[in-house]
Amino acid sequence: MDSERSAAIVATLRAYEAWSLVEAHHPRGLASFAVDAYIECSTLNAVLNDSEYACRGLRPLAFPGDGLEDAATMSVRRRYQSMRRAQVATRLAVRAADQRLFKLTRSMEDDEFIELGHAVNRHLRGQ
């Protein structure tokens, strides 16, 4: 068998294997990639907003400004600092999710993007 024919067969098998993975993990087909990216982006943004809200409440408790550093203050400060570190990772995840969603939707017309929003709502109601 010549190398050109062999490469074509390998490419076909890889495409078939990729499509099998899509069918197994994305029952809505290729359209589900955009739905999943939209949901992931919204979920991560909500997590980040909740975390930032919690940090705004903890900051005055973690750094009271009175110079007293008792055990309770230090405990709150450690909690606050761990939340801030987690926010860095969440911000990176949000940025990656935003990029994935943009890549999947950048060529969509307005009506297609609106239909994506409807598909997301249908998917979330079905869960």
Q: With b meaning 16 or more CB within 10 Å and e meaning fewer, what string describes 58-95?
A: beeebeeeeeeeeeeeeebbeebeebeeebeebeebbe
pLDDT digits (tens, 9 = 90+) for 63-74: 888 777 788 889
Asked, for residue 10, whether it belongs to a domain, the answer is no
Long-range contacts of 66-70 (CB under 8 A, 24+ apart): none
- Domain total in the chain: 1
Asked, for residue 11, whether it belongs to a domain, the answer is no
Domain residue limits at 75: 30-126
Asked, for residue 14, whether it belongs to a domain, the answer is no
pLDDT digits (tens, 9 = 90+) for 86-104: 999 999 999 999 998 888 8
Q: How far apart are CA 4 and CA 65, in angstroms?
A: 73
When pLDDT is cut at 50, 70 and 90, the band that residue 28 belongs to is low
Whether the pLDDT of residue 52 is over 90: the answer is yes
Predicted model pTM: 0.68
Decide: 75 and 58 in contact? Cβ < 8 Å. Answer: no
